[in-house]
Amino acid sequence: MRKAIVIAAVAASVCLLGGCDFIRTLAGRPTSHELASKRELIEQQAADVQRKKDSLEAVASQERERIRKWVTDSLALEDSLRRSGDDVVKTSERMGVSNASLTYRYYVMIGAFSSSANAARQAARAEKAGYTSAVIPLKNGISAVGVCPTNSLTEVCNALKKVRQEPFCPGDAWILKNE
């Protein structure tokens, strides 16, 4: 009988001391294998989240760089215009044009006339050459003719160079900035 007690005690101690998994199983808790697989799953999900975060940060960084380059290019273009002597006039400064009457931000101005008939003829010459034109009435009774309306400073600068080559364009063509 003594042998049976010793064998039972050894068997019980082996089971009890065999690891925490036996006790965890008896208590209804997850085993070390289940905990390890759960840990791997959590680490994998964390790595996926980090990859997505890194990807979004890379896209945001590229977008910030693109915007910075665009602002730098725009500022360089405005500086270039100032140094080149080309006249960029804001409507509120000199022209007396209400901002609401103009649909685009920039126009290449090819003339200002006291007679609206002369302005219409100049606009017709520009349209005949293939340019979009607009007669812009000013508050002082003068009618100005603008061509190549656009919202892009780069486009209006290129248009000014192109329009100056046309026979209908006077030498003092300038850019009107609608602000």
Per residue in 69-122, pLDDT (tens digit) is 877 777 676 666 666 555 555 554 555 555 546 788 888 999 888 888 999 999
- Burial per residue of 48-62, b for 16 or more beta-carbon CB atoms within 10 angstroms, e otherwise: eeeeeeeeeeeeeee
The answer regarding whether domain 88-177 maps to CATH 3.30.70.1070 reads yes
Residue-wise pLDDT for 135-170, tens only, equals 988 877 888 899 999 888 888 888 888 988 888 888
Return the pLDDT at 92: 45
Query: For residue 107, what is the enclosing H or E element?
Result: strand 106-113
The answer to whether the CB of 106 falls within 8 A of the CB of 151 is yes
3-class secondary structure, 111: strand
3-class secondary structure, 72: helix
Rounded to 5 degrees, what are φ and ψ at 17? Answer: -95, 0
Domain boundaries, the chain: 46-85, 88-177
Whole-number Å distance between alpha carbons of 65 and 149: 29
Residue 20 in tokens: 């925490």
Return the pLDDT at 146: 92
3-class secondary structure, 175: strand
Number of helices (H), then strands (E), in the chain: 5, 5
pLDDT at 49 over 90: yes
Residue 63 in tokens: 């977008």
Q: Please compute, for residue 16, the number of CA atoms within 13 A of its CA located in the half-sphere on the CB side.
A: 6
Whole-number Å distance between alpha carbons of 87 and 51: 51
Rounded to 5 degrees, what are φ and ψ at 107? Answer: -135, 145
pLDDT at 175 over 60: yes
Q: Residue 106: beta bridge partners?
A: 150, 177
